[in-house]
A = this chain, B = another copy of it.
């Protein structure tokens, strides 16, 4: 691999979580060595793409043998920042917000939902397991208290921009946005849009192509 200013393609980064998942499974089952071919099949891509992706991070494999599962897993965890625990705030304690709060899959990825926020007084004080619901006005205070890293926006579209501004205001620089709007935030803040309707509409488009 060439050193110095290797720019890692966005497309590569977006596949790392998939690699992580496959490696976790292999590790769990006790597999210690895996070939690019086998891994790639599980992920649903070509082996050369997998090798190319990994090559951006240096020689992670062993020629003639494959990749050491636990070593590669550790590397990918590091790259994805899964060593440091990420603490999520979920703003919006509606159906989606509470569903996310209840999702058990986060923990094994180093992610933890620490607090829910809402504007609706009747919801304040509720508990979802360990996770409490606080008034949105407490965002700043609770961010400090729980060392929150990521603001998850799970409010109606009309309120999303305002909520995003509050999140930025109190110091979040990562936003996970489930509202179907493009958020206007400072450049330094990273926004990831998780627009469910987009996904299903693409599916719908494919149905029209298939059915006739």
Q: Contact residues of A with B, CB < 8 Å? A: 13-14, 16-18, 20-21, 42-44, 79-82, 84, 86, 88, 95-96, 98-100, 102-103, 105-106, 109-111, 149-150, 173-174, 176, 180, 182, 188, 190, 192, 194-208, 210
CA distance A43 to B198 in the complex (A): 13
Say how many copies of this protein the assembly contains: 2
Residues in chain B near residue A79, CB distance under 8 A: 205, 208
Residues in chain B near residue A207, CB distance under 8 A: 81, 86, 149-150, 173-174, 190
* Cβ contact within 8 Å between B44 and A205: no
Partner of A204, one of B80, B102, B182, B199: B80
Please name the residue on chain B nearest to A109 by beta carbon. B197
Residues in chain B near residue A103, CB distance under 8 A: 95-96, 196
Closest CB-CB distance, A83 to chain B, in whole Å? 9
